[in-house]
Structure formats: structure tokens, C-alpha cells
Amino acid sequence: MPEWKPGRKNGDELLAALEAGEVRAAEPLADGTWRVNAWVKEAILELFRTRSASPVGEQRELWPFVDKFGVQAPEAGVRLVPGGSAVRRGAYVAKGCVLMPPCYVNIGAHVGAGTMIDSHALVGSCAQIGARVHVSAAAQIGGVLEPVGARPVIVEDEVLVGGQCGLYEGVLVRARAVLGAGVILTGSTKVYDLVEERELIGTLEEPLEIPAGAVVVPGSRPVTQQRPFDLWATHRRLHVACALIVKYRDAQTDARTALEDALR
């Protein structure tokens, strides 16, 4: 891969490479781990520093877009339903994807084949979304450009992200997991695996990872008496949010979460 250098011409080449899927902010390795390509985020940040904002799509009625990169026209095989959605330059959207209005896919994002991005959903900068994923209505996939070495949010193949879910801070959701509506996961969210009787929690070096096939729902846990103010909270029966793995995918789960090919 050629070394990237600052400048508008090279910047356009970088955006084109991102849009074609030839360059990614993070990429899967043969052993199942992910490698963060920090130089990609460094290059995108350099574009923010060196480019001026300008009108985009001046032929539009009402207000034109104003941006440093512009928006993409949909590629062949991608269904961008009318109604206010936008895919920013530098994002990759594979064939067979369906984007329902209004949704937004930001720079550096990578969206795999056959994925549906539903209404009011966000795919943030550099987020990595696999193939045949359903990102349900109002779900938020957080983005990351800084710090440049930080892992972006990664959602592997055939994951169902329920309505109003939020994934942030480099969370990794392994293949075929199911996130129930309203699940919020950050890099340090505590997840209780009721099936395997274990606790999952991320660190600064290794953010939270949701196992393959896990079915996750919102939960809460009581405040424990470990710090001075926790006794006060315990007396008032206060709880903090967590997430629960209540099962792993089976035939019944597959039937309930099957994607409808007719919609594609």
C-alpha cells in the first residue's frame, strides 16, 4: 500500500480507496483478531486540518450541504431509499446494502454486503460493520478518529443490532450476536453471561468484546458497598446499568432474526 502524504490530490485518492474498500481503519486477521490501521485515521484527520469547507450539491432546493469532503452517489447494487440519508465521502458501502431514510454513514466507515441500515441509525467514523448485519432504527454505532490508535467499534457478520442500541469506545461484537433493543455497550460496560456464569468487562487496552452468537439484553445491578458513597446508594436500592447474556443463538433465535431477502 503506497504511503499517504498530505495534499488535496492524495486526499482524494485516499477517499476513493476507502470508498472502494481497498483501505480500512481496522481489518480482520486470519486468527480472528483485528488490526487497527492508525495511519488511516491520521490521514483522515490531516484532511480535516488541510481542507476548507465548501458547498456540496448546490443544485439542491433549500439548503445545500457544506462539507470538507462531500457526499457519495450510491453505487450500483446499493439501495439508498429517498428521504434524507447521506453517505459521506471516504465511507465504503458494499453491494446489496439497503439504507433507510434518514440514516448517516460517516467517513472511514466500512459496511459489508447485504447489510441494512435502518431509519435514524448512525454508522460513525471508521466503524467496521460486517456483512448481512441489521442495524435497527435509531441505533448508534459510535465513531472514533482520536486517539488515532484506538480501536473503532467493530460489528462482525450477521449481527442484529436492536432498536436504540448504542455501541461506543471500541466495542467488538462477534459474528451472529443479537443485541436486544436498548442495549448500551461502551468499552468498560460490565456484561454478565448468565449461561457461562462469568463477567465480561473491557480495559483501556482491550475494550469490551461480546462473544459470537450471544443474545444480549439490557440489565441492571445493585450498587455494591465498596466505596464510601455506595452505602448511601445501597440503602436507597440504587442500581447501575449493565448488560446480560441470556442465551446463545439457536434455531429459534435464527427464525426470529432472519433477514427478509424480499426487502433487498
C-alpha grid cell, residue 99: 439504507
Q: Please, which pLDDT band fits residue 143 given cuts at 50, 70 and 90?
A: very high
DSSP strands (E only) in 13-121: 26-28, 34-36, 54-56, 65-67, 79-80, 86-87, 92-93, 98-99, 104-105, 110-111, 116-117
DSSP code per residue over 148-171: TTSPPPEE-TT-EE-TT-EE-TT-
Would you say residue 206 lies in a domain? Answer: no
Better pLDDT: 217 or 11: 217
Q: Over the chain, what is the mean pLDDT?
A: 88
Inter-residue contact 225 to 231 (CB < 8 Å): yes
**Per-residue model confidence as pLDDT tens digits over 161-193:** 999 999 999 999 999 999 999 999 999 899 999
Mean pLDDT of 11-31: 93
- The rounded distance, in Å, linking the Cα atoms of 68 and 89 is 9
pLDDT of amino acid 1? 47
Q: Is residue 249 part of a domain?
A: no
Residue written as cell 434518514? 102
The pLDDT of residue 204 is 78
pLDDT value for 90? 94
pLDDT at residue 64 greater than cutoff 70: no
Letter for the amino acid at 52? S
Boundaries of domain holding 128 = 1-52+71-155
Contact 187, 200 (CB under 8 A): no
CA 88 – CA 12 distance, rounded (Å):
13
Range from 49-53, 66-70, 180-184, 212-216 carrying the lowest mean pLDDT: 66-70
d(CA 227, CA 177): 34
Residue 99: strand pairing partners: 80, 117
Q: How far apart are CA 190 and CA 171, in angstroms?
A: 12
Q: In what order do the strands lie in the sheet with 122-123?
A: 86-87, 104-105, 122-123, 140-141, 166-167, 184-185
Q: Quick check: 71 pLDDT over 90?
A: no
Instruction: Let me know if residue 233 belongs to a domain.
Output: no
Structure confidence at residue 229 (pLDDT): 64
pLDDT in tens, 188-247: 899 999 999 999 999 878 899 999 999 999 999 988 766 666 777 788 888 889 999 999
For 220, what's the count of Cα atoms within 13 Å in the CB-facing half-sphere? 7
Residue 256 lies in a domain: no
Q: What is the CATH number of the domain that holds 92?
A: 2.160.10
Residue 86 within a domain: yes
Average pLDDT over residues 140-166: 94
The total of structural domains in the chain comes to: 1
3-state helix, strand, coil in the chain (%, to 5): 15, 30, 55
The one-letter amino acid at 229: F
| 21 in a structural domain | yes
- Residue 65 reports pLDDT greater than 80: no
**122 in a structural domain:** yes
